[in-house]
Amino acid sequence: MIKEFALEPDVLASSFRDFTYFTEKFGVAQGRVISRFPKDWKRLVYAAAQARLKGTKELALIEVRLRDLADDVLVAFGRPGGDSSKQWLERAIVEHARQAFSAIIATSNAQSHGDVLTSDDLDETDPRFAAKGQAHINRTAAEIVGWVKPLVINARKVKLIDPHFDPTASRWRRMLKLLLSTMAPVAQAGTTIEIYRSDRIPSQHLNHCFTSAIPPLLVGGIRILVFIRPDAEMHNRFILIDTGGASYQTGLDDNEDGGSTPQDVATWLATDVHRNEWQTYSGGTPFLSFG
C-alpha cells in the first residue's frame, strides 16, 4: 500500500544535492509519495530555496526539477492546507491529527513528536519510512482495492484491465462495488471508471452481463465505461489511476468464495511503464456506457 508523507519544504531547500537525494526516495513505484500539503507546496519549496540560494546555479537547477516533479512523486490527496499563518510543521501536525500521514519529515522535531522524522536521521530501515513496491496480498476485495486506495480516492479516472472481468460474478462485483464506494464520497463531476476486458465471449452475452449487473452498483455520479478488446491483446491485469498504477498477477477478482489461489502479487508500476499502459488502454469507442 502507498505511504503518504508530509515533507517540509525546507528539507529540500538547502542544496540541489539535498533536493535530488530526498525527492528520489519518492514515487509510486517505490511505495511512498510526497503529499501536496498544502496545495502551494511547490511555491513554499521554491521560496525556501530562494531565501538560501538566490543567485546561484543550484537555485536554477532546483527550479527546473521542482517544476518537472512527476505526478507520481508529488500527489494531491485533497487535504485542507490548514492555517497559513502558522509554521509548516505546526500545520502538518494539526493535519496529521485530523487524518494521519504515514509520517511527517521535517528539519527538526523540537516537540519529540513520535510521527515526525528528522531529515538528518532519515533511514529506510525505519518501519515508519520503509515501503514496498511489491507485496503478496490476500485475494479479498478489501486488499485488492486497499493496495491502490490512497490513489483512487481522489482520482478522476480509473482503468480496470482484466480479460475475464465479469460483473455478474460476485468475485469481480465485490471488488467493483468496494472501489465505487471508496471513490464516491469525494468524486467530482466527470469521475470515470473504465473497464477493459476481452472479446472471448459473444458480444450479446457481454452486453447482458454488464447491463444486468452495472446499473444497481452506480453511486456518487461516477460513470462506468466498458471497452472490449481482442482476446489476443488481453493478458495482463492492472488497476491504472491518473497518478500511477498497479499490476496483479492473478486477476482483479477475489477468492472470498474459495476455489482458487488465496494470495496474489501486487506490484506498483514504474513511471514509464504506467505511462505506456495508460496509452495502451486509451482511445476507442466504449462498448457500453453507464451513469
Residue range 9-22, pLDDT digits in tens: 999 999 999 999 99
In a domain, 127, yes or no: no
Provide the domain count of the chain. Answer: 2
Q: Tell me, what DSSP letter sits at residue 99? A: S
In a domain, 129, yes or no: no
Written as one letter, the residue type at 110 is: A
111 & 221 share domain: no
| Boundary (domain end) residue, out of 121, 142, 174 | 121
**Which CATH number belongs to the domain containing residue 177 in this structure?**
3.30.870.10
159 & 191 share domain: yes
pLDDT class of 260 with cuts at 50, 70, 90: very high
pLDDT class of 101 with cuts at 50, 70, 90: very high
pLDDT class of 251 with cuts at 50, 70, 90: very high
94 & 138 share domain: no
Query: From edge to edge, which strands make up the β-sheet containing 32-35?
Result: 74-75, 32-35, 3-7, 103-106, 116-118
Average pLDDT over residues 265-273: 95
**Residues 34, 243: Cα–Cα separation, whole Å:** 12
| Boundary (domain end) residue, out of 66, 97, 121 | 121
**Residues 239, 244: Cα–Cα separation, whole Å:** 9
115 & 30 share domain: yes
pLDDT class of 34 with cuts at 50, 70, 90: very high
CB-CB contact of 129 with 4 (8 Å)? no
Beta bridge partners of 194: 159, 225
Q: Do you find a cis peptide bond into 38, omega within 30 degrees of 0?
A: yes
